[in-house]
Amino acid sequence: MTPTVHPLPWRDPLTAFAPLAAEDGAVLLDAATPADPRGRYAYVCAAPSTVVRLRLGEADPFAALAALLPPTVDTLPDLPPFQTGVVAVLGYELGGAVERLPSPRPDDLGLPDLWAARFDTLAAFDTAERRAWVISTAGPEAAAAFAARLGTEPPPPPVAVPAPARAERTRAAHEAAVARTIAYIGAGDVFQANITQRFLAERPADLPAFDLYRRLRAASPAPFAAFLNLGEGAAVASASPERFLKLDAEGRVETRPIKGTRPRRADPAADAAEAAALLASAKDRAENLMIVDLLRNDIGRVCTVGSVRVPLLCGLESFAAVHHLVSVVEGRLAPGRTAVDLLRACFPGGSVTGAPKVRAMEIIAELEPARRGPYCGAIAWLGADGAMDSSIVIRTLCLGATGRIAAQAGGGIVSDSDPAAEYEESLTKAGALLRALAAEGPPPP
């Protein structure tokens, strides 16, 4: 099958998506950093043909995801890589479908552990070349009808309704959890575990979820920005800088774990000093290397023997609010394996668990007071040609069906971690989220 392609006059993806944002099942996979090759393409999806919502234990979530994929279609050249298929949010707790783990904490957000939607028609945007298309496997009429629904005028400024957040637990409690993790490391249980804290807010009735996303996007543009209306009053607003797994139609695999963080500074000299300190930090480099080794093992489960390599180790990447150390691990998917097999082999991402992964997740379950939900899970598109790209769900606001908003941040704890410094790092990472909730700063476009 070959999709229908309907060219569009250029407009910003945010503009195109705005009239659809309030619809259940509407998805914007954004291009908030067009200068970054990872943020080149954007996708607007709405009116899914099928939606799957699952809780852990109801069914095999990965089998359900595979069953949702449409029949294989031909990849069209010179277009963005996602050319119809499935968009999914995989909650962190789906790790319990892969490994034997403690039962998750009660759900206070009312979000599914798997939300997945099949889109037979979508709009795709190439922000580098300022070109756009509607792509459809449902025929020319469906493509033209979807094109007519897309916005052409920029939306008005988002409403300035604050939803200030409070920390879920005290600083002392978070530092005690970090100290307990360090004790586990000293006892030989793990080399590293990722410990986080939540900030909670109540969503005002007059605060549209998409407006909150636009405020976050302005505060922290990121290559894997995304907004997903999950229905039933729930949404995910993400400004993630981190790729989880990328798979092209030829079977090439890439993952880009982030470990190591420093804040950006307004003064150029101070900012350069922060970046230099991060690059020189033995602790941060060791933390990054541990996760690289974990991910080499994870993708190696489904890749051809001998194909896994590390072309970049501890490279510096700078974003709006932070500097990060980022590594790249590559491989080639083994014959007969699929994108869903790759997700199952690697889920959840090692950069948000620790190493060894299972024991680290047991420690997280013990020391964190709430389930993570979408946070530290993944947002993925899975194309009808077998390709996939996905992000780690960090720097993200989870808007629950219960009316509660959760922002979460933390970091990898190693033997020489300092609890006070780890607490401060979590505040740095949560900064843009908290500013978006507080409605601070100039209104975004």
Let me know if 202 is a catalytic residue.
Answer: no
Taking the alpha carbons of 237, 239, 245, 250 in that order, is the dihedral positive or negative? positive
CB of 345 within 8 A of CB of 298? yes
Q: Tokens standing for 47?
A: 């009116």
* 259 part of the active site: yes
Partner residues linked to 316 by β-bridges? 325
Catalytic residue among 93, 168, 259, 287: 259
Among the options 242, 362, 368, 422, which is catalytic? 242
Cα Rg of the chain, angstroms: 21
How far is C-alpha 414 from the geometric centre of its chain's CA atoms? Answer: 24
Q: Where in the sequence numbering do the catalytic residues fall?
A: 242, 259
